[in-house]
Amino acid sequence: EKKLLKYGAQYEGKRTDAAMQKWRSNRFGQFIHWGLYAIPGGEWKGKTYTYAAEFLKSSAHIPNSTWDSLQYQFNPVKFDPKTWAKMAKKMGVKYMTITTKHHEGFCLWPTQYTKFNIGNTPYKKDIIKALVDAYNSEGIDVNFYYSVLDWHHPDWRYDIKTKEDSIAFSRYLTFAQNQLKELAENYPSVKGFWFDGTWDQSIKKNGWWTLQVEQMLKSIRPGVVVNSRLRADDYGARHFDSNGKMMGDYESGYERRLPSPTDTQVIHRDWEACMTIPENQWGYHKKWDISYTKTPLELIEMLVQTTSLGGNFLLNFGPKPDGTIRIEEQQIAEHIGNWMKINSAAIYNAGHAKGWPRQDWGYFTQNETTGKLYAVVFNIPISGILKIQTLEGITISKASFLEKPDVPITVKEIAKKQVNLYLPQQSFSEPFVIILDTINENKNKYIDA
């Protein structure tokens, strides 16, 4: 039966306010992981570590004293936030999420609560402010990633076993809350907070703090969007409380994975999938191809699959220590951007096409405002005929290419709820979008006098 919770879900159903509708309509975002880990880039004392580069400190068993001195080498002399923002704009993202502090504890903004920050590096300048200003001036919303897990801070605890642990950890929770207040106050255009590093017992035993932080952020920045990964309830349940209700404003459990295309559970809530281009590298790794790296077409298909299930897609970039974006990522960004320039109507402010069954040639998306229906095609059948199973009482009256509206696509209803689209005999090298005009026969039926 229903448990009485103090720190569980505070509301049910999707938020309908303008800030959340903007977050939802953005659909496509750029994740950026940048920190001291970019300097060694997955290599230490001549050895290459294949695990995630931002985990090198633990993979190579490097003590804090050694790792933390990397701050005196952090000097991205080629960093130009406008260059990053222009690349992101051309790629077609509507939002960006930046690591303000990753597990290493190094802060990219001049925080007053620890010296382990950008102000005490050769670079000195506030990277968070530079990125917020550059991205906002390109019309791109900015969210802050914040790791609660902190390898540097002496008061961090993985679990609370002793009185000393709880005294230290309450100091840590105050420190983290102060940092979050500082971020919310000093960067007023922030649109969301993306929490990570909240899986340890110490946090699960302090669900109250996670709710308090969310409430504090929303009182300082009304409308700000907070991910489910922050929250633990009275019993330590995460993302979904002990009554199965999602906590926070969107589900953020999809990390390097997507729901299956037929998992229609996810369409009932807001959610976001975050994705690496390599198999598992969020921070910069010197060796790009130590693992499989996803092609632009694979990434475009992930974006479309995510949109078709009503979710946001956050694609990760790991900038180099000199402040430039590696060429492989620039080329992928350009390919995706070229595709978005033609096809973004099927992505922006689009979502799940309610009731339309999953098709084997690709995905349906539907504009949330106009209801316009899009078919995004990845797999052309040998027959050249796209077979579409329509909804009860719905038929397709016209089909046209989004890119070339005057190229005819023949539509033929071959049986009840069965329509064939005859594609022109031509080769396609990129996924393409077809706009489907539908007629709802139910509405047009005359009511017998």
Ligand X SMILES: C[C@@H]1N[C@@H](c2cn(-c3ccccc3)nn2)[C@H](O)[C@@H]1O
Which residues contact ligand X by CB under 6 A? Answer: 33, 52, 54, 196, 255, 274, 282
Record the tokens describing residue 24, joined without a space.
């939802």
The closest residue (CB) to ligand X is 282
- Identify which of residues 176 and 399 has a Cβ nearer to ligand X in the complex: 176
Min dist CB 194 to ligand X, Å, is 8
**Helix residue ranges per DSSP H, 5-105:** 18-26, 56-59, 64-68, 81-91
Min dist CB 42 to ligand X, Å, is 13
Min dist CB 233 to ligand X, Å, is 21
- Identify which of residues 247 and 274 has a Cβ nearer to ligand X in the complex: 274
Min dist CB 143 to ligand X, Å, is 13
Record the tokens describing residue 27, joined without a space.
């659909």
* Site of tokens 């009932």: 268
Beta strand extents in 212-263 (DSSP E only): 225-226, 251-255
Closest CA to 237 of 227, 224, 246, 250: 246
- Identify which of residues 117 and 227 has a Cβ nearer to ligand X in the complex: 227
Min dist CB 59 to ligand X, Å, is 11
| Gap between the Cα atoms of 244 and 109, Å rounded | 37
C-alpha distances in Å from residue 380, one per residue of 63, 383, 424: 54, 8, 11
Phi and psi at 271, nearest 5°, equal -155, 165
| Gap between the Cα atoms of 10 and 241, Å rounded | 10
- Identify which of residues 53 and 237 has a Cβ nearer to ligand X in the complex: 53
Residues in Cβ contact with 352 at an 8 Å cutoff, skipping those fewer than 6 apart:
264, 267, 308, 309, 310, 365, 366
Min dist CB 63 to ligand X, Å, is 20
Mark residue 417 as left, alpha or beta (left: phi above 0; alpha: psi -120 to 50; beta: remaining): left
- Whether residue 424 contacts residue 380, with contact meaning beta carbons closer than 8 Å, is answered with no
- Identify which of residues 56 and 184 has a Cβ nearer to ligand X in the complex: 56
Q: How much of the chain is in helix, strand and coil states, percent to nearest 5?
A: 30, 25, 45
- Identify which of residues 53 and 436 has a Cβ nearer to ligand X in the complex: 53
Min dist CB 403 to ligand X, Å, is 34
Q: What is the C-alpha radius of gyration for the chain, rounded to an integer number of angstroms?
A: 24
- Identify which of residues 56 and 419 has a Cβ nearer to ligand X in the complex: 56
Min dist CB 282 to ligand X, Å, is 4
- Identify which of residues 118 and 274 has a Cβ nearer to ligand X in the complex: 274
Angle 442-446-447 from CA coordinates, rounded to 5°: 95
